[in-house]
Amino acid sequence: MKEAGQLSDNIKNETWKPAYQTNLGLVLTDLGRFDQALKLFEEADSGHFELGYRHWQAVNKCAWGRALMLRQESGNLDKAIVLIQEAETLSRNVYYPENISMHKGDLGRVFYLLQDYEKAYNYVNEALSLERRINAVHDHRHLCNLIIAAALCHELGKKDQFWELLVKAQILSKEIGADEHYPVTKLAEDWLLLNKLFRLYCTENSIEIEEIKNTPPKSIADLGMSQTQSLRVLEATSKMLDNVGFEYPWNGLEEYLQERGIKTIRLFGYGSLINKKSASRTLPNSAESSFVQAISFGIVRLLDYEMPDVVRARSMYSTTPGNLGRGLFNARFTGSLCDKANGIYFEIGLDEIQKLRKREIGYDLRSVVCLPWDDIEGEIFPAFALGCSGRLWEGRMLSNRELLPHKDYYVLCKTGAKEVSQHFYECFLQTAFIADGYTRVFEWESSQSDHQ
């Protein structure tokens, strides 16, 4: 790398120099040589800015903040937060999802070090969710986030997720050969933390390390599925991340299916598509021929979808300017057994895909794991689910945690669930959240009634 820097100087190519400085700083950070790295990041920042290379500036600011975070000297963490947040803003403006996931993970780690565990938990989970969406789930960065998430779950008493994250981190750790001598300093230290967390779990549950995978906490066992089935579903959700997905507007979807002789796609609907009348207006053939109840694991159903203008223009969704009550259902993909949603799956033919595309503006198609609603021990099957992440669409973010439910839309979804069955409706109520991802919609409704 030094040779590359020397060559850049020799040919007087100033456009390469800041990139060289950033890359060398990253290597030095991994080696724990923070003072040298920080000097390079500071010099590179002005170079990237002057050249207008916003992608590189985002990478550099994040790396600069990470080096300060890892050095952990007095005052460094506050400065690290500022730099990483500046990097996130740059990455969002140019839509660089790999960078955004890195920024979220780094912010989570900073707040973990500051012992602000709730804020750290939210950031790290956002990072993990985005890594799943872009299929960045086989590298050391994802493993580090799994380990920090596990540590946070332990601090916050989230026993179910603590167990899941330990199992997933153990599998990925073996896959990439992580240990205390791993060349990336951060992961080597996190590997030691992972082993500490394993010992904590074993002590608290009076088991041996070899037994962890086969002894899920009671609440996961209480899902109603056998231990064997719960491990199958957990493994399936992990493998599902490698399956094909399509970012809206699903370019190449029909061609992909035709090349493989596939005549239908299986779609898991969890919002307005639960309402058969609503589904039939867009998908008359599919709604009549394959309206089947199912349950999916590894997703959170929440009302944080920010409608693009073309959706807001539809008569049902019109709202007064500034009204936060415009949130529609979206899915956050967590891969966790603790998160589930009931819904309807359809076999959608090629002739109806374009109709679905026009209805579901901005939603990506993501692979999920499903089980038959009436047979929790039944065969696991894959399906697509609609979900949009925090990316810009026509100048507006597609998700917004400040939103409140669009009441008419929510009533439509709730009515559809009730028409299926009382049991189905009760599960819907327990697994439908407002945009914050924590408050169930029926709890929010109750609070609104109390204030009237």
> Sheet holding 325-333: strands in order across?
404-405, 325-333, 299-305, 432-434
How many C-beta atoms lie closer than 10 Å to residue 401's C-beta?
15
Domain ranges, ordered by start, for the chain: 2-222, 240-450
298, containing H or E segment: none
Residues 6+ apart with CB under 8 A from 436: 302, 401
- How far apart (Å, rounded) are the C-alpha atoms in residues 264 and 254? 10
Q: Are 389 and 398 in contact (CB under 8 A)?
A: yes
C-alpha 327: how far from its chain's center?
19
* DSSP letter, residue 274: G
pLDDT of residue 185: 80
The confidence score (pLDDT) of residue 13 equals: 56
DSSP single-letter state for residue 342 = E
**Does the domain formed by 240-450 have CATH 3.10.490.10?**
yes
Q: Do residues 361 and 348 make contact, with C-beta atoms less than 8 angstroms apart?
A: no
- pLDDT tens, residue by residue, 260-313: 999 999 999 999 999 999 999 999 988 888 899 999 998 999 999 999 989 988
| One-letter identity of residue 296 | S
240-450: same fold as 2-222? no
Q: Are 90 and 57 in contact (CB under 8 A)?
A: yes
Mean pLDDT over each residue of the chain, to the nearest integer: 88
Strand ranges in 209-259 using DSSP code E only, listed in sequence order: none
CA distance 152 to 293: 35
Assigned fold of 2-222? 1.25.40
In contact, 133 and 97? CB cutoff 8 Å? yes
Q: Is the confidence at residue 452, as pLDDT, over 80?
A: no
5-19, 129-143, 247-261, 320-334: segment of lowest average pLDDT: 5-19
Mean pLDDT for 84-108 is 88
Q: So what's the pLDDT on residue 135? A: 78
* Residue 327 vs residue 136, higher pLDDT: 327
Question: Which residues are bridge partners to 305 per DSSP?
Answer: 328, 399
pLDDT at 11 over 70: no
Query: Strand pairing of 396-397 and 392-393?
Result: antiparallel
Beta strands in 76-204 (DSSP E): none
pLDDT digits (tens, 9 = 90+) for 109-147: 999 999 999 999 999 988 998 888 787 888 999 999 999
Rounded Cα distance between 245 and 262, Å, is 15
d(CA 54, CA 414): 44
CA dihedral 64, 152, 102, 175 (to 10 degrees): 120
Q: Distance between CA atoms of 175 and 65, rounded to whole angstroms?
A: 29
Task: Check residue 290 and give its pLDDT.
Answer: 87
**Angle formed at CA 142 by CA 91 and CA 206, multiple of 5 degrees:** 145
Rounded Cα–Cα distance for residues 430 and 326 (Å): 21
Question: What gap in Å lies between CA 200 and CA 59, rounded to an integer?
Answer: 36
Helices 76-94 and 54-71: crossing angle in degrees, nearest 10, is: 160
125 DSSP β-pair partners: none
